[in-house]
Structure 1
Amino acid sequence: MVDWLEIHQPDVLALQETKLVDDSFPQEAFKEIGYHAAYSGQKTYNGVAILCRQAPKDILTDLPNLVDSQRRILGVTVDDIRLLNLYVPNGSEVGSKKYAYKLDWLGRIKDYLQEALVEYPKLIVLGDFNVAPADQDVHDPDIWHETILCSTPEREALKEILALGFQDSFRLFEQEAQSFSWWDYRGGAFRRNRGLRIDLILISKALVPKCTGCVIDKEPRRLTRPSDHAPVIATFA
């Protein structure tokens, strides 16, 4: 992570699935290279963090309409931009209790964002959404048809969030076909590019004119023992 930060020098980096309690977060390693850290973690599962060049303000780890012991939400303000970092539940399988929990969770996020946009016109919602927005974001739509991450209710829940006034920054620009951000560890999925685009950076209308690009950096996925996700990078003027 430190190597990647020193190469790319982002102003803000959002992390999901950190899988460690707050006392164990390696904030000193990031401080040494010029980053402040905000984080909300738990042992073994979930966990979110944000690294910033500037000290983050107005840190939020729980939403007023969503009481949840799982650490999946982190909000901060940097300059005049509000960021909400999400690790959306996977949902396990369509029709399961975890799937119902995921849909309810997304609905509560939508309700919160509807109000947040009034307070924060410059709002970025980003993270591991565990939803591929459309068939073009799936290596084989027939295989994934109505399965978890690609089912119609999940996609509709994401569309309802977008309809509040957000744009998927990746789709603001021409992109290569078969562009993905996640590949299973099994079956040579990365080598065969059998992936999904489930890591998203959604931006409010006020930020759309300032967004100058959005790309997926696949290089870290080639490393030894990599994350199964690749970084998504949005740039703003």
Structure 2
Amino acid sequence: MKIATFNVNGINTRLESLLAWLREDAPDVACLQELKAANEQFPRKALAEAGYGAICHGQKAWNGVAILARDSDPIEIQRGLPGDPDPSQSRYLEAAVNGIVIACLYLPNGNPQPGPKFDYKLAWFDRLIERAQQLHDCGQPVVIAGDFNVVPTDADIYDPKSWRKDALLQPQSRERYERLLAQGWTDSLRELFGEERVYTFWDYFRQHWQRDAGLRIDHLLLNPVLAPSLSEAGVDRWVRGSERASDHAPAWVELDLPLAPA
């Protein structure tokens, strides 16, 4: 079973690229972030024609998350994190797909820092940690996937020097990611790639893509029920090199599991 996460950076602007990736790589589940589209603008018909059922938590022009399932319909569990003081920001969605709980998130960027945006990022992260503990303890197989807007360590960025003041590398951001993992979650890409550098994001400036000057900020976390089934993981870098590409590439895991009835 293949589960992927992809910050599409505007689902309608990059719909052809998204559909090409779905045709080529055919993930069983795809978590999408930064839709930049209200629910009524979500391209449900095009995705259905590509063989995917979908649920979305959209927002006009900003944010937005969705969960796609190949030849299936995700069963929504929850949208939004409990206790979020600003529910207008569409950043979190949960669904059941083929017997697995899928949590899709788009964690706040937090820049500029210090300031209210960074404070909001940290508070949102704290609520995520609370929800993640509940999911960890539920006894069901769970994946938390998405754009975490956190570079966990200096090994996850091409060169940390020019990013030291960025919210993605701040000690408070990294500490929360470590606290999340300490609950018992497995960081799939790091688990399989070891010390090898692997990136999921290359911004549009200073030829970062052409120079492979990337960051790893898109993560797939598995709870202890699911972690033993992890067999492969990777990043579909070719998507980042396509025409009118997002600044992210899809990251994915292969789980040694049969597809269960929905």
Smaller-chain TM-score bracket: over 0.9
More relative contact order, 1 or 2 (CA 8 Å, 6+ apart): 2
User: Are 2:112 and 1:96 aligned?
Assistant: no
- Do the aligned residues in 2 keep the contact of 1:110 with 1:161 (CA within 8 Å)? yes
User: 1:65 maps to what in 2?
Assistant: 83
Give the structure-2-normalised TM-score: 0.87
Deviations 1:183-223 (A, max 9, x none): 11011011111111000001101111101011011101111
Q: 1:162 aligns with which of 170, 177, 181?
A: 181
Match of 1:147 among 166, 183, 187: 166
Q: Contact 2:55 / 2:76 at 8 angstroms: preserved in 1?
A: no
Kindly indicate whether residue 39 of structure 2 is the aligned counterpart of residue 39 of structure 1.
no
Q: Cα distance 1:59–1:115, how it changes in 2: closer, same or farther (>3 A)?
A: closer
Which of the numbers 133, 143, 153 marks the counterpart of 1:114?
133
Q: TM-score, normalised by structure 1?
A: 0.96
By how many angstroms is 1:120 displaced? 4.6
Counterpart of 2:80 in structure 1: which amino acid? D
Aligned to 1:6: 23
Q: Partners in 1 of 2:42 and 2:166 — Cα distance?
A: 34
| Matched AA of 1:51 | L
CA contact (8 A) 2:139 2:225 kept: no
8 Å Cα contact 1:146-1:152 kept in structure 2: no
Are 2:150 and 2:169, in contact at CA under 8 Å, matched by a contact in 1?
yes
Answer whether contact 1:12 1:52 (CA < 8 A) is retained. Answer: yes
Matched, 1:172 2:172: no
Match of 2:4 in 1: none
Relative to structure 1, is the Cα distance of residues 190 and 21 closer, same or farther in structure 2, using a 3 angstrom cutoff?
same
Structure 1 counterpart of 2:115, one-letter code: S
Number of equivalences = 237
Post-superposition CA distance 1:121-149 (Å, at most 9, x none)? 31111100000111100111222235320
Letter in 2 for 1:29: A
Secondary structure of 1:124's partner? strand
Following TM superposition, by how much is the alpha carbon of 1:176 offset from its aligned partner in structure 2, in angstroms?
7.3
The one-letter code of the counterpart of 1:63 is L
Candidates 73, 76, 82, aligned match of 1:55: 73
Equivalent residue for 2:225? Answer: 206
SS of alignment partner, residue 77 of structure 1: strand
Counterpart of 1:232 in structure 2 is: 251
Separation of aligned partners in 1, 2:19 and 2:193: 30
**What is the RMSD of the two structures over their aligned residues, measured on CA atoms?**
1.4
Identify which range, 165-174 or 101-110, moves more after superposition. 165-174
Q: Which runs of 5+ in 2 are unaligned?
A: 1-17, 257-262
Question: More deviation in 51-60 or 212-221?
Answer: 51-60
**Identity, % of aligned pairs?**
38
Q: Does 1:183 align with 2:202?
A: yes
Q: 1:114: how far off?
A: 1.1
Q: In 2, distance between residues paired with 1:101 and 1:35?
A: 33
Letter in 1 for 2:63: N
Deviation at 1:175, TM superposition (A): 5.4
In structure 2, the residue matched to 1:21 is: 38
